[in-house]
A and B are shown apart, each in its own frame.
Chain A
């Protein structure tokens, strides 16, 4: 009872903290403009409710683990507010960019960014059904239903004209055919100057590095010609150095996660990476968040406290997280004592950028982009996919692999057969969750829970820890 009360008090504290970030934004924007933009961009309603994530991620968690999640959500709320500020207060420097191109260079050029896929990733986390209207819009305009629902969500957003006005588009051939091709539609719709980075499939070795560094130089020149942005190499160095500091902290966090039971887990690992490395790399605030999360993990370690109350199983999640059931692991911790230790979107082998020269920075960024999870695993050769899974399995002492089997991801669907056989050989229990990334109408929350129940009962031979949670997991 006492724990529940403390848990609730911490929740209320962060709820208040996050509202104190959202309300000033509304006031700064002005009530009239806010109402106008809420009509113009209906998704803004959901985005401004970002602090609802607090409710999803903190439930029933141990105190420091709960606080780590809330520190992160509070940071994300700040990030969302900063991004909305960019859309509305600095539209003259706004560019649309694809999620596979990290924003370090754009930031160093003084540009503000609208990551086109962000709505499709963030909004279902806040409101699971948020993207359905955009998916429908795409399909109504002729995009085949079998296309991945993330690009369909993104295209729908542009087709509905619900994106802030921008100066240019920057995209690439990543992460998949659908993602790449969606920008043909977006370009046609917006009629804006568009730049496309070509990322090699054979991305290992100096030849690829030279080619791709050349692509980044071409991008910088193009941006200088087509936008108000100008490259500030000193600023880029600062960003990269700050990013390196954040990466160092993340590696320490991973070291903690390797310990059984893990003193830190879940969103504190995967969501922190997804948000800060993809959206806000190189900001001191981001580094600060990692530092705080790490400190909480270290305190847990010192006191021998496990993040997950009854850590029975340690899981690796492969593929992007189940965004419309984003509290899946909060549920799984409670239901089965499953602790999410590592995921494919966070894991990487080349975290640092050499900042000794301009060329070295471009090469460092190039390596990171080429080795990004969607480049390395989703599109890259099968060897990358398999080798990383089994490396992580050993390195993080894991008990099971959960594959978020998004029906629209053809690249990963086509590796499930090989993966099944490799997992059998390695003795790694494998659960492939059939679902759709952004569209809960395909497989709803209950359907996902039911697949997990079957797996845990039949393969892991275990029962729920909290039977009263019921079949819906609520």
Chain B
């Protein structure tokens, strides 16, 4: 099935080293149009309609946020500050459009400042309702139709029933493959680490899927020859917001943990569930993304989030939960304490970690993780 005999898993990590990667470059040379997006509530599947390619905006290696702080202030989440800093350093010149979601205060203000400072030719913000229901779905469907109009007025892309259905099918196939790799982590001795799996998921968010698909297939095949991992102290589930730096999970795993499930917005749960097709592709896409309840911005879904996490705890044989969030994130800041309380009531050990976007305080994280294992008797 796969002819790439020299394939190495390190390939995925290499794609994450810079905002722009070699696969985007190749695609752009072939006439594809990279569109950046910053939040899981932006339907990347819409940005996959040929010749568009979706690129989840990251800020790897950002040296600091001195200039961004002048505009966004130092009390905003460091993801948004890092993105603005890199944007002002012209590191996203390869993007031919930006799509934001008015998902939280920080994202909205990142959009405002990007618009003011960088003035991209195509910049759009989606108004994502904060609750589910028929009216919200109708609203969000309208929002996606507006986005579609905006994209097609700027770029040579046609959003037809066929092109949208094809994009959904390809999206479902791609993520089914990725999810099947993720499912392997349910095994007693999983064949891959959490760091490896995060590299796959992140690479899938920043690289064109047509190039990623064979690489993922090759990786999956390579797993069959591996022995399961058994030298870990505890199986962990990570819950939280944007985490696109491999360093955090690597640090956790270097302390003896094995991350077997990821309930964060750049993770696999619930991001890889297939999009149902019921005849109106835009509405189907709207329903799929609006039904994501993993972010506390969905104001009515706290109990549902706890329930989903409990299901994953059971399915992935989780010993403990790490709730992580970027400092200054208000929704996760309040949610984390509540979530920890709710899970502890159910007898689940929980560790809350407030962190920065870029990897900092590794030593502290290691110490806290080790203490967490000890508190679990592991």
Binding site for B on A (CB under 8 A): 141-144, 146-148, 155, 173, 176-178, 180-185, 187-188, 196, 198, 200-202, 207, 211, 214-215, 218, 379, 381-382, 407-408, 410-411, 413-418
Most buried by B among A141, A202, A416: A202
B residues 124-139 touching A (CB-CB < 8 Å): 125, 127, 129-131, 135-136, 139
User: From B128, which residue of chain A is reached at the shortest CB distance?
Assistant: A201
Contact A410 B102 (CB under 8 A): no
Option from B76, B135, B330 in Cβ contact (under 8 Å) with A211:
B135
Contact B116 A201 (CB under 8 A): no
Contact A416 B73 (CB under 8 A): yes
Shortest distance from the beta carbon of A451 to any chain B beta carbon, whole Å: 17
A406 vs B270: C-alpha distance in the bound complex, in angstroms? 36
Q: Is chain B's binding surface mostly helix, strand, loop or mixed? A: helix
In the complex with contacts A414-B112, A415-B112, A181-B131 CB distance below 8 A? no
A173 vs B136: C-alpha distance in the bound complex, in angstroms? 13
- Range, interface on chain B: 35 or more
Binding site for A on B (CB under 8 A): 70-73, 75-76, 102, 104-106, 108-109, 112-113, 115-116, 125, 127, 129-131, 135-136, 139, 142-143, 296-297, 299-300, 302, 327-331, 333-338, 340-342, 352, 354
User: From A211, which residue of chain B is reached at the shortest CB distance?
Assistant: B139
Residues of chain B within 8 A of A214, CB atoms compared: 135
Contact A177 B139 (CB under 8 A): no
Residues of chain A within 8 A of B108, CB atoms compared: 201, 379, 381, 411
Most buried by B among A141, A173, A201: A201
A141 vs B106: C-alpha distance in the bound complex, in angstroms? 24
A244 vs B299: C-alpha distance in the bound complex, in angstroms? 33
A148 vs B75: C-alpha distance in the bound complex, in angstroms? 11
User: From B303, which residue of chain A is reached at the shortest CB distance?
Assistant: A188
A–B pairs, 13, beta carbons within 8 Å = A142-B337, A144-B334, A176-B105, A178-B330, A180-B297, A181-B299, A188-B342, A198-B129, A198-B136, A413-B72, A414-B76, A414-B112, A415-B112
Contact B330 A176 (CB under 8 A): yes
Contact B296 A215 (CB under 8 A): no
Residues of chain B within 8 A of A414, CB atoms compared: 71-73, 76, 105-106, 109, 112-113
A200 vs B138: C-alpha distance in the bound complex, in angstroms? 13
In the complex with contacts A198-B130, A382-B116, A141-B337 CB distance below 8 A? yes
In the complex with contacts A143-B333, A202-B127, A214-B135, A185-B338 CB distance below 8 A? yes
In the complex with contacts A407-B75, A414-B73, A414-B113, A146-B127 CB distance below 8 A? no
User: From B340, which residue of chain A is reached at the shortest CB distance?
Assistant: A142
A228 vs B127: C-alpha distance in the bound complex, in angstroms? 34
Option from B131, B142, B296 in Cβ contact (under 8 Å) with A184:
B296
Residues of chain A within 8 A of B341, CB atoms compared: 142
Residues of chain B within 8 A of A144, CB atoms compared: 327, 333-334, 354
Most buried by A among B106, B135, B334: B334
Contact B71 A417 (CB under 8 A): yes
Shortest distance from the beta carbon of B123 to any chain A beta carbon, whole Å: 12
A198 vs B133: C-alpha distance in the bound complex, in angstroms? 11
Not counting A177-B329, A211-B135, A418-B71, a sample of 10 additional A-B residue pairs whose C-beta atoms are within 8 angstroms of each other reads A142-B336, A181-B299, A185-B337, A187-B302, A198-B131, A202-B102, A207-B139, A382-B109, A411-B108, A417-B73
Shortest distance from the beta carbon of A144 to any chain B beta carbon, whole Å: 4
Contact B330 A177 (CB under 8 A): yes
A180 vs B163: C-alpha distance in the bound complex, in angstroms? 38
Contact A173 B109 (CB under 8 A): no
A181 vs B305: C-alpha distance in the bound complex, in angstroms? 14
How many A-B residue pairs have C-beta atoms within 8 angstroms? Tell me: 136
Residues of chain A within 8 A of B333, CB atoms compared: 143-144, 146-147, 178, 181
Residues of chain A within 8 A of B302, CB atoms compared: 184, 187-188
Residues of chain A within 8 A of B337, CB atoms compared: 141-143, 185
Contact B299 A183 (CB under 8 A): yes
A183 vs B297: C-alpha distance in the bound complex, in angstroms? 12
Contact B76 A413 (CB under 8 A): yes
User: From B72, which residue of chain A is reached at the shortest CB distance?
Assistant: A414
Shortest distance from the beta carbon of B108 to any chain A beta carbon, whole Å: 7
Option from A177, A187, A418 in Cβ contact (under 8 Å) with B105:
A177
- The 9 A-B pairs of least Cβ separation, nearest first, read A142-B337, A417-B71, A414-B109, A177-B330, A382-B112, A413-B73, A181-B334, A201-B102, A178-B330
User: From A207, which residue of chain B is reached at the shortest CB distance?
Assistant: B142
A188 vs B331: C-alpha distance in the bound complex, in angstroms? 15
Contact B338 A188 (CB under 8 A): yes
Most buried by B among A176, A181, A182, A415: A181
Shortest distance from the beta carbon of B289 to any chain A beta carbon, whole Å: 16
Contact A418 B116 (CB under 8 A): yes
Contact A182 B334 (CB under 8 A): yes
A381 vs B125: C-alpha distance in the bound complex, in angstroms? 10
A218 vs B299: C-alpha distance in the bound complex, in angstroms? 16
Option from B70, B112, B143 in Cβ contact (under 8 Å) with A381:
B112
Option from A184, A382, A413 in Cβ contact (under 8 Å) with B334:
A184
Option from A196, A381, A411 in Cβ contact (under 8 Å) with B131:
A196
User: From B71, which residue of chain A is reached at the shortest CB distance?
Assistant: A417
Contact A184 B73 (CB under 8 A): no
Residues of chain A within 8 A of B299, CB atoms compared: 173, 180-181, 183-184, 196, 198
Contact A201 B127 (CB under 8 A): yes
Contact A185 B334 (CB under 8 A): yes
Residues of chain A within 8 A of B104, CB atoms compared: 177
Residues of chain A within 8 A of B102, CB atoms compared: 201-202
Residues of chain A within 8 A of B297, CB atoms compared: 177, 180
A381 vs B113: C-alpha distance in the bound complex, in angstroms? 10
Shortest distance from the beta carbon of B175 to any chain A beta carbon, whole Å: 28
Residues of chain B within 8 A of A173, CB atoms compared: 130, 299
Residues of chain B within 8 A of A147, CB atoms compared: 330, 333-334
A410 vs B340: C-alpha distance in the bound complex, in angstroms? 25
Shortest distance from the beta carbon of B224 to any chain A beta carbon, whole Å: 44
